[in-house]
Amino acid sequence: DVPELRALIGEVAVEQLERSRSDDPRGVSAALRVCFTRLLKSEKKFFVDQLNMLVKRISQEAAEGKDTSGSNGDLLLRLHSQYPGDIGCFTIYFLNVVRLEPGEAMFLGANEPHAYLHGDCVEIMACSDNTVRAGLTPKFMDVLTLCEMLNYTPAPSSSKIFPAVQSQLDPNVYLYDPPVPDFTVMRIEIPASIKLYLISAMDSASILLVIQGTAVGTSTAAASEMSLHRGSVLFISANESISLHLSSPDGMLLFRACCLL
């Protein structure tokens, strides 16, 4: 539906994608791989010309009051203003646009392309030895490695989003437990009515991030008290607990990254 993108990918690849059927996931994945690879391997002058044509067309349609949502017009113009002439502006047509509401989380598996656009979030990553970029960056792009490694299996954004579950052991703790054993995130909401709170010991090490509130912490492992406020980060070793003496009238909001053994 985007003629400038169609020109970059080429009619053969486009027809292969149009012939792929939803009941043949391998065929769809293979067609997406061909289309995405053709896009990223486009000659720079050619894709810059097509991008400029696309931006000009969308800008004119927006000025005329036309609906450009079918071409992700608002997002395209915003990204192009931030990264003019970047081929990543075209990758939005291969991805789902996801808006997370406060309290929601999403899980992305290995080799799944993603782009963080705006807003504040807590991001947890498993140990990784690579970062391969697909655009919207001034940094190096390893196109060959990228096109080979990506997972081209299509899925709705709803399949990636999951809610927090309130802990049965502590009503102040909400668990974000993704479908991998590598890590779990805890959201700890301590109301103002609680002046002394215990960060429980765990079998694994963890990292604690303070988002809101102030407290003085005492640890079973540390020799001295710790002053905690917005932006404070603590490393908590395995089998270590921390007592928080709250001094904030609004309570505290903490996030804890850990591994549930």
Both tokens of 180, joined, read: 């991998």
Judged by phi (left if over 0) then psi (alpha if -120 to 50, else beta), residue 170 lies in beta
**Candidate list 133, 187, 230, 256, residue with the active-site label:** 133
- Beta-carbon contacts of residue 142 (< 8 Å; ≥ 6 apart): 132, 133
Angstrom distances, CA of residue 207 to CA of 128, 233, 236, 247: 18, 7, 6, 22
Active-site residue, 133 included: yes
Longest Cα separation, the chain: 68
Full DSSP string of 232-253? -EEEE-TT--EEEEE--TT-EE
C-beta of residue 197 within 8 angstroms of C-beta of residue 245: no
User: For residues 248 and 185, what is the distance between their CA atoms, to the nearest angstrom?
Assistant: 23
Rg for the chain, CA atoms, rounded? 23
Contact indicator for 101, 157 with CB cutoff of 8 Å: no
The alpha carbon torsion through 211, 215, 221, 224 (nearest 10 deg) reads: 130
Active site residues: 133
